[in-house]
Amino acid sequence: MKKLITIIGPTAIGKTALSIKLANHFNCEIISCDSRQFFKEMEIGTAVPSKHELASASHHFIQNKSIFENYTVGDFEREAISKLDELFETNDYAILVGGSGLYVDAILKGFDTFPEIDASVRTEIISNYEKFGIEYLQNKLRELDPNYFDTISNENPQTLQNPQRLMRFVEVCIGSGKPYSSFLNQKKTSRNFTPIIIGLEAERQEMYNRINLRVDLMMQNGLLEEARNLYSNRNLNALQTVGYRELFSYFDGDYNLDFAIEEIKKNTRRFAKRQLTWFKRTENAKWFDYKSEVDEIVKSISNFQNS
């Protein structure tokens, strides 16, 4: 059976560095499932691996799409599974790495299926959204699927600011007559690989210190100019992302620059907490301190294979 070594954990914890070390050890290639590193226009603010890191191991799904493309988690699942099938033809190992929990789950478990919804439902939802704004979508989801609304509020609140995602949730609720959440986690997808899941973590203050340092380095490396170049497209879904939103508010005159930087750090720390909450629910994950030696992790992978 083929092995998919899957590296999970919060942002700035060292997943990229570990993935490269393991790729070199097992002589295999890396699938990235960071949902913002897909976009070629976003580099500094998404912590895309450096040119040296990209040259150290073969990577896939790094800066392969444009922010102007509509690229969904379902699209990623199809493309990534196809790529894994290709990689497993010549290798017993591949590596999956990234901090986007939904995208990790899509590869390991499969994407949920939903009923076909009459197009008139979406048309009416769009009309109401244009009349009443995003609050209409938020209130409708709260009414039709209160449990899922609460889950999003606690674990991924930025989704509540994403009209495309909210329209889809409401569309399914109205069109099917059932809560959106009732269709989640229903399908058991068979995969032709066994996942070996490695989690990286750190003491909370250490994790926060690493995040703060990363933001400072991003600013030194040109994040302000990168955000300025993207400002005219700030309403695109891909740019509803920590690190860009706060600088857009600076360009709008709502924040001064120092406050915007502190907001990036604060919102990234909050994001990291939500990532950990999501990933800690992952079954059969083996967690390591981020300073662990790679030999210790390799040994754990070997023990898994022999168990």
Is 11 within any annotated ligand binding site? yes
Is 57 within any annotated ligand binding site? no
Is 146 within any annotated ligand binding site? no
d(CA 149, CA 155): 10
Is 253 within any annotated ligand binding site? no
d(CA 16, CA 165): 28
Angle between helices 134-144 and 146-155 (to 10 degrees): 120
Amino acid at 12: A
Is 243 within any annotated ligand binding site? no
Nearest to 18 by CA among 300, 292, 299, 306: 292
Q: How far is CA 188 from CA 104, 113, 179, 191, 288, in A?
A: 15, 11, 20, 10, 28
Is 10 within any annotated ligand binding site? yes
Is 117 within any annotated ligand binding site? no
The alpha-carbon radius of gyration of the chain (Å, integer) is: 20
The neighbouring-strand residues paired with 195 are 4
Q: Checking DSSP bridges between strand 2-8 and strand 285-289, what pairing results, if any?
A: unpaired
Is 159 within any annotated ligand binding site? no
Element (H, E) at 96: strand 93-97
- N residues, the chain: 307
Residues annotated in the binding site for ATP, as ranges? 9-16
Residues annotated in the binding site for substrate, as ranges? 11-16
Residues annotated in the binding site, as ranges? 9-16
